[in-house]
Each structure stands twice: as C-alpha cells, then as structure tokens.
Amino acid sequence: MEFTKMHGLGNDFLVFYREQELPQNVSDLAIKWCNRYFGVGADGLVFILPSDQADFKMRIINSDGTEAEQCGNAIRCVSKYVYEAGHTEKLRMTFETLGAGVQEVLLKVVDGDVKNVRVDMGEPILEGTKIPTTLEGETVMGQPIESNGQWFNFTAVSMGNPHCVIYVDDAPHFELETWGPQLETHPYFPRKTNVEFATVTSPERIEMRVWERGAGPTLACGSGACATLVSSVLNGYTQRKAWVGLKGGDLYIEWNPSDNHVYMTGPAEIVYQGEIE
C-alpha cells in the first residue's frame, strides 16, 4: 500500500488514497504502523475514500486502533494532498466525516503549493448529553471533576468529537501525561474524551496542550483548538477570534456569530512518501 506521511503542526498521519474502503484489519494495522519504534510512526491513519455526499470521504483510525469521528489537523493534510497530487483542481472542496457531517475547506495556494487551509468545522455542540457526557443541561461549564484526589473544573464541547477543556496556570508545563489519561476515561464521558489544558494569555491568545482520545499526547489538535476557543468565549476569557498556541505551532480559530460555525486556519506539510506491506 502506498502512503504519504503528513503532519499538521506536528500531529502526524499516514495518508492513504487509493483504497475504496477501509481494510478489514484496519485497527490492527493502525496499531502496528503507527508504532514509532517498530512501525512507521504516526498519531493515526487517514483514508481518503469515495463519497456520494461530498468531494471526498475521510476516515481516521487512531494509533490505538479506535476510529475518530473527525480531526481538524487531518482534514488540512488531506486537503493539501488531494490538491497537490492532482486529484482535484478545486480550491474550495468538501469532505464527508464520520461525526461532523460534511465539512468545507478553502485552500490558499501559492505557485501550486497549499500554504494553509481554512476549514469550516461546523457548529459546536454544547448540550451535555449530546457531547456526550453523563451530565444534563444546555451547557456544561465550570463543572467540578475529580481524579485521583485532584479536583479540576471543566467545560465540555463537541466539535463532532468530545472535548473536556480545563484552565490551568501554565498549560505548556502542565503534567499532561499524569492527568490526561485519567480524565480521558472518567465516568462523565461514556465515549471517553479529548482533554485540553489551557491558559489564556490575552483576549486574542490561548496556550493549550492536549491529550487526545486514542492517541495520547500530540503536538496539536485542530478540533481541540476549536473547542478551547468556544469554551474560552463561553467563559468570558477571549474574543470570538483568537490564536491558539499548541506545542507544534499556532492555529487561528474564529467562532462566527452569524452562522454559529467555527473556522480553523492552519498549515499542513508533506514529510515523505513510501510503501508498506
């Protein structure tokens, strides 16, 4: 199978184009190929498949073999791939996703090179049971949560996949690998959750680190950046447009009041191409 190794701000994937459907043993393949010591190494596999609803369909398999509903960094990668590989000439195209419906992207191209991708990430889901959490209410904000004797307060947001946003004093140096896996599997989250630890440094900037459901600590999370911006607006910490600083770089996030959609803009890069059995 031919693959292209790509990353969005360090959140890396093996991208496959020629398949018509997911391989039957795709979970086992993801665990094997994503291993950074005995495989190629990646946060997940991304398959670009035919779609009868959009220009392309995107399916994402995490490094632990589970499937993700969507991924903001992955959609920027596949957008760059299909354009630069000549599979489309469109600068505006659509992708069918498992959990976020059909998403539209807009490419900024300079001399044939996709410099950045603006993604319509859709409307955030805020109702507790729809995120899903086990908590009732139109929003889940400032909700106490306990893990191993430590208490936090979180805001829950879904961008087609669940997120738990927690504000801390120093996100870049927070003990991510201590608390991330414990909160990911907390009983409040029946389908587990992505966990974002955020520090608001100004009304236009947030520093964030992420523990991704099914992948662990990653250098960036596009849907997590969107969820963090939505949470920060709801809590009165930021404006509706802000930069989110991740370990791998910055994403520009907008929560548009006119259509209630969240828009994410950022880069994607091709690392190399190869073949794997």
- Say how many domains are in the chain: 2
Q: What is the DSSP letter of 125?
A: B
In the predicted model, what is the mean pLDDT of residues 58-72?
Answer: 96
- Domain assignment of residue 87, yes or no: yes
pLDDT for residue 277: 86
The yes-or-no answer on residue 77 being catalytic is no
Q: Distance between the two ends of the chain, CA-based, in angstroms?
A: 6
Cite the annotated binding site for substrate by residue number: 11, 62, 72-73, 161, 194, 212-213, 222-223
Helix or strand run (H / E) with residue 206: strand 205-212
Which residues contact residue 175 at a Cβ distance below 8 angstroms, ignoring those fewer than 6 apart?
Answer: none
In the predicted model, what is the mean pLDDT of residues 3-12?
Answer: 98
pTM of model > 0.85:
yes
CATH number of the domain encompassing residue 235? 3.10.310.10
Mean pLDDT taken over the chain = 97
Tokens of 200: 């608001």
Q: Are residues 87 and 180 in the same domain?
A: no
The burial class, CB within 10 Å (0-12 / 13-18 / 19+), for 38 is exposed
- Domain assignment of residue 119, yes or no: no
Q: Are residues 246 and 201 in the same domain?
A: yes
Q: Are residues 142 and 246 in the same domain?
A: yes
Q: Are residues 133 and 253 in the same domain?
A: yes
pLDDT for residue 238: 98
Quick check: 40 and 25 in contact, CB under 8 A? no
Q: Are residues 136 and 96 in the same domain?
A: no
Q: Tens digit of pLDDT for each residue in 120-160?
A: 999 999 999 999 999 999 999 999 999 999 999 999 999 99
Integer Cα distance of 192 and 243 in angstroms = 27
Cite the annotated binding site by residue number: 11, 62, 72-73, 161, 194, 212-213, 222-223
The yes-or-no answer on residue 71 being catalytic is yes
**Domain membership of residue 198 as a residue range:** 128-260
Residue 9 region by backbone torsions, left for phi larger than 0, else alpha for psi between -120 and 50, else beta? left
**pLDDT over 90 (residue 214):** yes
Q: What is the DSSP letter of 213?
A: T
Catalytic residue among 34, 77, 164, 221: 221
% of the chain beyond a pLDDT of 90: 99
Q: Are residues 62 and 104 in the same domain?
A: yes
Catalytic residue among 34, 71, 164, 226: 71
Q: Are residues 167 and 217 in the same domain?
A: yes
Nearest to 208 by CA among 179, 232, 178: 232
